[in-house]
A and B are shown apart, each in its own frame.
Chain A
Amino acid sequence: MKRYLETGNFAITEGAILAGCRFFAGYPITPATELAEAMSLRLPQEGGIFIQGEDECAAMHLCIGAALGGYKAMTATSGPGYILYADPYGWAIGCEIPLVVVNSGRVGPVSGITGAPGQGEFYLTRYPTQGGNFETIVLAPNSAQETMYMTVKAFYLAERFRTPVTILADQLITDGFEDISVPENEGEMKEMGFEVYPRRVNNGPVFYPPTDEIDIPPVVLGKNTGALCSDWTPTEEGYDIEEVEAHHKHAYRLIYKVRNHRDLVEDLYEKTHMDDDPDLVVVSFGTPSRVVNTAVKKARAEGLNVGALRLRHIWPFPDELFSTPRKYLCVELNWDGQLVREVQRAAPKDAEVHFTGICGDLPSIADLLETFTKILQGKALERQGWKMEAW
């Protein structure tokens, strides 16, 4: 095991290489540029390929092409680039192409503030493309070390589910320096929970079965298997077809191959002070969860009955975690409240769901403690200028 004081970008790069990624295409964008740079340095040393695309749309299409040729591929961007992935994303979902996509969130909309973290793409990662009729897998790390683990996991899930998997990080995670341990052999990888799934080849003739099965090898072109893939609704053999019934089968597969095998994704929650049925549960993902955890521990020390729930994967959404009719508070790095809507949907009618969010910076512990107290006392969250807004 080697230890480094390095960034999340470094952790993602090393994680990807450990997972067998040998192709990266990206397009410069703050704050994902450093990841592309790290890849351009490291991949060729491992016999892998780095390509700079002519735009983000091309970058993801380059990855798709490489994945179709048998590579494990990855791309990374931030919000303004992620939206340009919308076109290739649909193709990769529909053709069931394994791929890893990193989104390092910054403040939006559009270019917003390039150097400040944001969580405005919670829903965009759920519906990263047009048309609907699919399920997505999104992992949300909150530290550099965990980012490495999740990168390996993302490749593992991408292969097993035959789908692009998104890592939704933010600028604080990708650019922040932290203590990072990199395993140096298989034993150490196992010890750290790193599991690698190999790339396989679908030999056909059934490339798109209308079932919820996983572990079906993906389409690889150039092996003369007669493989077909396109942006149209496919038959089982990959022919294009304009029939609603065929599309029902296709959509069933795209949705339920993920939903019916959620257990593969779902070891990914972090619970703090949740054992004694707290009156208030603070929900978060990504870097805000680190402040939330500290605030909740402090609140406990002050006698407040508060717990924290951190989502390490946000899609498919863990509805079952919100089945208790209690008070929930969502803490987000945005002003409009996105995660809170999903919690409100999943929670029972008599639950109270609150939101506090700022964009571009982490909440302060003092502000969070004040908010916890108010909610526990049944007081409404007042508007405090531009700092905090009742949702």
Chain B
Amino acid sequence: MDYLANKYLRFRKTPSTACTGCGLGINHKAVLQAVYELGLEVEDVVWGTSIGCAGRQTFGMWKGDGFAGTHGRVYAIARGLRLALPPEKKIILTVGDGDAFGIGLLHLIHAARSNADLTVVVNDNLGYMSTGGQYGWTTPLGTRTDSSPYGMYEQNLVREGMDVLGVLQHAGATFLARHVSMDGSRATGSIKKAIQNKGLSLVHMIYPCPTNFGSRELGTRDALSIYNWIRERSAPLEKAGEDTLWATGVYHDASNSRPEFSEDILKNVEKIRRAAAV
């Protein structure tokens, strides 16, 4: 991580304040690795985050310009910003699952509908962990959290036929992938494709939270236990079986197939402006 940290991160913010054993750092590194492999420099990217563990831990780490939006609204902010920035400037958002799939889902759907050129990396710790460990919209059925003490029994967004990635695909997202933290270079590969797509890309990254999710569901804060628990429930798409909770890989790649939000709007504005000037 050192060469990535030296190149891209602020010393003031490293090491992060995430709990020992937290998988968030691995996800963060996968994004930085993708940025590095694409040859992007600090000035090429504006980094946005939001709330919760993902927001607090990734805000201000990027050496360049950055922001953290309020609960779930970062997609609307980023769309406004997208219209103001030059098209070659990348906007990368590292957000949490509550922010993206709960409070922010409406704004995310509209970011997908309009195909705004944003790369959204959803760091999913399987619930609301920065508030102590409550269930979220991707918490697996049957698992225990502080607000699902009898096991999660609410319908959620990772069930067969109700996958949030399906919702986003139908809403118009042009690149969608899912990974777990342990996917390494496969995850980095997907994030690279996401950044390269001129449109709304989202990579859903499940990561282990030993402090809250692990301790409630597995009864231990031992990092290895929760890492193994997630690993056992994930498999690459082509090898996914009936017990697979998280099939990993690229779900939908329609990169560069649809007009991008800001370029499209600016083109139309220019047309109207010219007509008005005549």
Contact = CB atoms under 8 A, between A and B. Distances in A.
A369 B86 CA distance: 61
Nearest to A67: B80
B94 to A, nearest CB: 13
B13 interface: yes
B265 to A, nearest CB: 6
Contacts of B60: 228, 230, 238-240
A40 to B, nearest CB: 10
A71 B266 CA distance: 14
Given A225-B65, A226-B64, A228-B67, A65 B272 contact: no
Interface string B47-89: 0000100001001100111111111010011111111111001
Contacts of A239: 12-13, 60
B237 interface: no
A221 B65 contact: yes
B269 interface: yes
Contacts of B231: none
Contact of B81 (A51, A69, A226): A69
A153 interface: no
Given A44-B273, A238-B60, A49 B83 contact: yes
B82 A65 contact: yes
A88 B70 CA distance: 7
A90 B70 contact: yes
Interface string B90-123: 0000000000000000110110000000000000
Interface residues of B, number: 43
B129 interface: no
B238 interface: no
Contacts of B71: 87
A47 B270 CA distance: 6
Contacts, number: 141
B76 A53 contact: yes
A71 to B, nearest CB: 5
Contacts of A232: 59, 68
A226 B66 CA distance: 7
Given A65-B78, A69-B83, A238-B60, A224 B42 contact: yes
A64 B77 contact: yes
Contacts of B67: 68, 95, 221, 228-230
B80 A228 contact: no
Q: Which of A48, A64, A228, A238 has the most CB of B within 10 A?
A: A228
Contact of A222 (B63, B65, B276): B65
A61 B77 contact: yes
Interface string A41-85: 001111111010111011001111111111101000000000000
Contacts of A222: 46, 65, 81, 84-86, 89
Contact of A46 (B56, B63, B273): B273
B155 interface: no
A25 B81 CA distance: 12
A49 B65 contact: no
Contacts of A63: 80
A312 to B, nearest CB: 30
Contacts of B83: 23, 49, 51, 65-66, 69, 71
A215 interface: no
A223 interface: yes
A53 to B, nearest CB: 7
Interface string B1-44: 00000000000110000000000000000000000000000110
A91 to B, nearest CB: 5
Secondary structure class of chain B's binding surface, majority of residues: helix
A102 to B, nearest CB: 17
Contact of B106 (A54, A62, A226): A54
Interface in A208-236: 221-232
B185 interface: no
Contacts of B78: 65
Contacts of B85: 69, 221-222
A54 B79 CA distance: 12
Nearest to A71: B84
Contact of B64 (A46, A224, A238): A224
Contacts of B43: 224
Nearest to B271: A44
A55 B106 contact: yes
A87 B84 contact: no
A231 B78 CA distance: 15
B77 A65 contact: yes
B59 A230 contact: yes
A87 B76 CA distance: 13
A44 B83 CA distance: 13
Contacts of A23: 80, 83-84
Contacts of B84: 23, 65-66, 68-71, 222
Contacts of A49: 83, 265-266, 269
Contact of B110 (A58, A225, A227): A58
A13 B149 CA distance: 55
A90 B81 CA distance: 18
Contact of B80 (A45, A48, A65): A65
B124 to A, nearest CB: 21
B147 interface: no
A44 B76 contact: no
Shortest beta-carbon contacts, A-B, top 3: A69-B84, A65-B80, A61-B76
Interface of A: 23, 25, 43-49, 51, 53-55, 57-58, 61-71, 73, 87-88, 90-91, 95, 221-232, 238-240
Given A49-B269, A87-B73, 5 more contacts: A54-B110, A58-B107, A91-B69, A222-B46, A230-B60
8 contacts: A46-B273, A54-B107, A57-B76, A61-B77, A65-B79, A87-B71, A221-B67, A239-B60
